[in-house]
């Protein structure tokens, strides 16, 4: 059994895979296995992996089952002490895993760990030029009183302002190291989310159960982030739908009623801003979201009841930990 299982879910991600896998093979830490769960790609991903990376384990789905279910499948296939969930459009620096694991070994109560993600962009397409930038993609997740969850420091220039190790609300699912024994207690990704915000849901649930997430700045990686916030005006309807709907699921499943009532003006204002934006850009998504939320309300409420039966963090403890200094 390897110390770390590295899981990558692909769906027509061939253009990113080579750089991602080469970076993994060049890691200073070597005790890991790589598993690619492919959601029925049609861009030649499978043939590429079999020909160039025969040591990589592959599990292929007959259709696109989404990010959450695909990763859950992987978690049952290969045993390990830790699981590194990795997007195919992420490139790790050579000592990334070594640095992250060293910190995880010191934080025995740590549930998840993440490094400093910086943005990488495409330069000359003919030359397949990739430009590593100093623009921050994520230094962990943070939560606001409106229950908006965002990446710390996103789009800021990295000037060392996030070079301090810190406990954070959670870690971006683009590149997150989870301790498997705690993952079994907290539960895996919610497959009803399909894609988008399932990492936030898992992070929130872990906090409620009394676990901790840590940001490790010396572990550096680069992320293309295909669904960049700068491209929201051209965001596909399917991305808008899951992002908006799953944001509502998050609150219903994980927020204390006391905090929902206390921060209701901020919550409603934030949700209205999102709804108005969609009404002007993708009006059909608003109706589709409303219908889906109503149809899934009972199911999500039952999940809420199960979560709060095992929750150790009170509403006041949540406020003190995440809102007292924000």
242 in the same domain as 164: no
174 in the same domain as 186: yes
227-268 pLDDT per residue, tens: 444 444 446 888 899 999 999 999 999 999 999 999 999 999
Task: Tell me which of 176, 198, 229 is where a domain ends.
Answer: 229
46-81 pLDDT per residue, tens: 999 999 999 999 999 999 999 999 999 999 999 999
pTM: 0.93
Task: Tell me which of 195, 229, 263 is where a domain ends.
Answer: 229
Q: Describe the chain by its helix, strand, coil percentages, rounded to 5.
A: 45, 25, 30
Calculate mean pLDDT across residues 91-108: 97
At residue 61, the 3 state secondary structure works out as: coil
**Which burial class, exposed, middle or buried, applies to 140 when counting CB atoms under 10 A from its CB (0-12, 13-18, 19+)?**
buried
236 in the same domain as 197: no
- State the alpha helices, DSSP H only, in the chain: 14-25, 45-52, 66-75, 96-106, 180-186, 198-208, 237-254, 257-262, 264-281, 283-310, 315-322
Task: Tell me which of 229, 252, 272 is where a domain ends.
Answer: 229
Which pLDDT score is estimated for 228? Answer: 46
Name the percent of the chain lying above pLDDT 70. Answer: 94
Token pair, residue 219, equals 């572990």
199 in the same domain as 158: yes
Name the percent of the chain lying above pLDDT 90. Answer: 86
Average pLDDT of the residues of the chain:
93
Q: How far is CA 280 from CA 196, 233, 247, 274, 292, in A?
A: 22, 11, 19, 10, 20
Separation between Cα atoms, residue 276 and residue 273, nearest integer Å: 5
CATH of the domain at 89: 3.90.550.10
Structure confidence at residue 1 as a pLDDT band (50, 70, 90) = confident
237 in the same domain as 215: no
86 in the same domain as 12: yes
76 in the same domain as 22: yes
pLDDT of 203 over the 50 cut: yes
Which pLDDT score is estimated for 325? Answer: 66
* Count of the separate structural domains present in the chain: 2
180-197 pLDDT per residue, tens: 999 999 999 999 999 899
Question: Which position has the token pair 């590149």?
Answer: 175
31 in the same domain as 96: yes
11-54 pLDDT per residue, tens: 999 999 999 999 999 999 999 999 999 999 999 999 999 999 99
158 in the same domain as 27: yes
**C-beta separation of 153 from 136 below 8 A:** yes
242 in the same domain as 159: no
Structure confidence at residue 130 as a pLDDT band (50, 70, 90) = confident
Using alpha carbons, select from 75, 72, 59 the residue that is nearest to residue 4. 75
Which pLDDT score is estimated for 227? Answer: 45
pLDDT of 204 over the 60 cut: yes
Which pLDDT score is estimated for 122? Answer: 76
pLDDT of 108 over the 60 cut: yes
285-304 pLDDT per residue, tens: 999 999 999 999 999 999 99
Owning domain of residue 234: 230-322
Which pLDDT score is estimated for 124? Answer: 59
115 in the same domain as 11: yes
Which pLDDT score is estimated for 226? Answer: 55
Structure confidence at residue 126 as a pLDDT band (50, 70, 90) = low
**Top-confidence residue, 154 or 231:** 154
85 in the same domain as 167: yes
Separation between Cα atoms, residue 92 and residue 219, nearest integer Å: 8
């Amino acid at each position: 059994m390897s110390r770390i299982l590295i899981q990558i879910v692909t769906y027509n991600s061939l253009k990113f895979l080579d750089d991602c896998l080469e970076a993994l093979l060049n890691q200073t830490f070597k005790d890991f296995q790589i598993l690619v769960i492919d959601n029925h790609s049609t861009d030649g991903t499978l043939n590429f992996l079999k020909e160039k990376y025969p040591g990589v384990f592959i599990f292929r789905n007959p259709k696109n089952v989404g990010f959450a279910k695909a990763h859950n499948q992987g978690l049952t296939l290969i045993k390990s002490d830790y699981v590194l969930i990795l997007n195919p459009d992420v490139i790790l620096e050579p000592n990334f895993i070594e640095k992250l694991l060293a910190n995880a070994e010191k934080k025995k109560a740590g549930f998840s760990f993440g490094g400093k993600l910086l943005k990488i962009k495409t330069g000359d397409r003919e030359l397949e030029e990739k430009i590593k930038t100093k623009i921050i993609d994520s230094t962990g997740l943070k939560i606001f009183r409106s229950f908006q969850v965002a990446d710390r420091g996103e789009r800021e220039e990295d000037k060392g302002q996030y070079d301090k190790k810190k406990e954070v609300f959670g870690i971006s699912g683009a590149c997150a190291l989870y301790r498997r024994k705690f993952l079994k207690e907290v539960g895996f990704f919610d497959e009803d989310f399909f894609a988008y915000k399932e990492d936030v849901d898992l992070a929130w649930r872990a906090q409620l159960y009394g676990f901790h997430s840590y940001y490790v700045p010396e572990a550096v990686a680069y992320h293309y982030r295909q669904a960049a916030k700068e491209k929201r005006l051209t965001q596909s309807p399917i991305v808008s739908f899951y992002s908006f709907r799953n944001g509502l699921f998050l609150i219903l499943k994980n927020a204390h009623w006391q905090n929902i009532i206390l921060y209701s003006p901020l919550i409603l204002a934030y949700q209205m801003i999102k709804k108005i934006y969609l009404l002007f850009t993708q009006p059909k998504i608003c109706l589709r979201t409303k219908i889906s939320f109503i149809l899934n309300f009972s199911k999500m409420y039952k999940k809420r009841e199960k979560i709060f039966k095992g929750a150790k963090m009170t509403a006041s403890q949540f406020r003190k930990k995440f809102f007292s200094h924000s």
